[in-house]
Amino acid sequence: MAKYRKLSRTSSQRKALLRNQVTNLIYHGKIRTTEAKAKEIQKIAEGIIALAVKEKDNFETVTVEAKVPVKDKDGKRVKEVIDGKKVTKFDTVDKEIKKDKPSRLHARRQMLKVLYPITEVPTENAGKKKNTKKIDLVAKLFDEIAPKYENRKGGYTRIIKIGQRKGDAAMEVIIELV
């Protein structure tokens, strides 16, 4: 028996398709696809979520000093003149950050091998670069999804059959996070 379904695609196309589907499943919580694709997506997604559950508390909190630019009431950076040049003025602030331990860092990198980066664009600025923000899906996995499943041994996703597709009669399903 084969270890995976080929989905009538070359290996690079198949890998890209599955990465895209898994990324969207984690970002949206559920997606609609064919049954064969859903079964392949389920394998990958379950592995990633299991990794997040295992490593969710494996970090230490560290206080670091950070330079932050001083801003005026309008939110613009304050400039000062030093030796005839305009230079931004900075303050030193203590910040607490999460520092991953080695096994969590490895898990993060394993997840990043599968997940595509997502950029969220507000609807009023569609087509513009302004106010776009990058979504950190790995942080979402560790902070939101993993705590939901910490007492669960597996079975983080569910496949629900919704019938045959009109065009080619392929069985369509909804795959969602439980």
How high is the pLDDT of residue 34?
Answer: 96
CA distance 118 to 26: 11
Cα–Cα dist 31/42, whole Å: 11
Instruction: Tell me, yes or no, whether 108 and 87 share the same domain.
Output: no
Give the per-residue pLDDT at 129: 74
**53 and 121 within one domain:** yes
Domain of residue 91, residue span: 59-100
**pTM of the entire structure?**
0.83
Tokens of 141: 């996995």
Q: Are residues 72 and 34 in the same domain?
A: no
Structural tokens at position 122: 């507000």
If residue 96 lies in a helix (H) or strand (E), which one and from where to where?
strand 90-100
The separation between CA 74 and the C-alpha centre of its own chain, rounded to angstroms, equals 33
Distance CA 161, CA 116 (A): 27
Are 47 and 135 members of one domain? yes
Q: Which helix (H) or strand (E) holds 134?
A: strand 133-135
128 and 84 housed in the same domain? no
Backbone angles phi, psi at 69, to 5 degrees: -65, 140
Q: Answer left, alpha or beta for residue 102, where phi above 0 means left and psi between -120 and 50 means alpha.
A: alpha
- Token pair for 15: 């890998």
15 shares its domain with 74: no
**Residue-by-residue pLDDT tens, the chain, 178 positions:** 578 999 999 999 999 999 999 999 999 999 999 999 999 999 999 999 999 999 999 999 999 999 999 888 888 888 888 888 888 989 999 999 999 999 999 999 999 999 999 998 887 767 777 778 899 999 999 999 999 999 999 999 999 999 999 999 999 999 999 9
